[in-house]
Amino acid sequence: MLFRSEYKKVLNFIFLHSLRIVLAPVNLSGKISQSSAVIVIPHNIFLLFDKEFIKVMGNRQSFSRLFDPPPDTKLMKDILVASLRSPDHMGLRPYRFILISGEQRNKLGELFAEHKLDISVDENPEMSHVAKQKAFRAPLIIVGIVSFQENQRVPRWEQKIAAAGVIHNIGLGVYASGFGSIWRTGDFASSDIVRKGLKVNSSEEIIGFLYVGSRPEKQRKLKPAAIDDFFSYWSD
């Protein structure tokens, strides 16, 4: 089955090369039937894909718990490649991302647990266990890291936004593909223990953990936002 993006590529090819689609029914002997049909495709069919993407944006939501399976390797690669089209002043690409799945989540969970014990006044085994299990809230975790670069025209805060834009794009791509995600930060993101374990150096910063997986069966109903509360046209 073709994804919508692949259908769009096919249709683009048809229009660019002024082709017509001919349906030629095949009979039981494997020969093409004498009757065929020409399909006329209007140009405004592309609007259907554009509106579908806007619908995806409007319906996107976070899921606190995600399940197996995550997107397969091929799909995930496509999403990651597309996510890099996020705005990036001067093309610095001031970021990198670590994908953690399978048994590697055990190691991440151990870092979470060690961090909680380190900041806790009392050693609480239960708290340590709960912290470790947070690494298993999804089958795939993407750690977003901003790698600051020295550039007079692009301040550090702008580089952080560029990295955040990539994470946001990944989340949109995941949702558009029928999966779900949630972007988490918390004290794990600033933990020296977690940073050291993930080999985050002194010129870098963890800006979040994107948990990715299959959505739960039930999704909450979203209330439409009152755009006038957030957007306005500038007037003198």
What are the pLDDT digits (tens) for 27-48?
444 444 444 444 454 545 445 5
Average confidence score pLDDT of the chain: 85
pLDDT at 72: 97
* 128: in domain: yes
pLDDT at 171: 97
Query: Which residue carries 């020296």 as its tokens?
Result: 192
CATH number at residue 156: 3.40.109.10
pLDDT at 56: 87
Query: What average pLDDT score do residues 58-64 get?
Result: 93
* 226: in domain: no
Closest to 177 measured CA to CA, from 101, 78, 87: 78
Q: Are residues 19 and 85 in the same domain?
A: no
Q: Are residues 164 and 80 in the same domain?
A: yes
pLDDT at 30: 46
Contact, 141 vs 76, CB < 8 A? no
Domain total in the chain: 2
Q: Cα(68)–Cα(147) distance, rounded to whole angstroms?
A: 31
Please enumerate, as own/partner, the contacts of 20-24 that have beta carbons within 8 Å and a separation of 24 or more.
none
Query: What average pLDDT score do residues 197-214 get?
Result: 98
Q: Are residues 77 and 167 in the same domain?
A: yes
Q: Are residues 105 and 41 in the same domain?
A: no
- The values of phi and psi at residue 33, to 5°, are -70, 155
* 25: in domain: yes
* 225: in domain: no
pLDDT at 62: 96
Query: What average pLDDT score do residues 221-233 get?
Result: 91
pLDDT at 82: 96
pLDDT at 125: 76
State pLDDT tens for residues 70-88: 999 999 999 999 999 999 9
Check pLDDT > 60 for residue 189.
Answer: yes
State pLDDT tens for residues 78-136: 999 999 999 999 999 999 999 999 999 999 999 999 999 999 877 777 888 999 999 99
Q: Cα(129)–Cα(140) distance, rounded to whole angstroms?
A: 20
What range does the domain containing 96 cover? 73-213
Check pLDDT > 80 for residue 25.
Answer: no
Q: Are residues 112 and 202 in the same domain?
A: yes
Check pLDDT > 80 for residue 210.
Answer: yes
End-to-end CA distance of the chain: 53
pLDDT at 225: 85
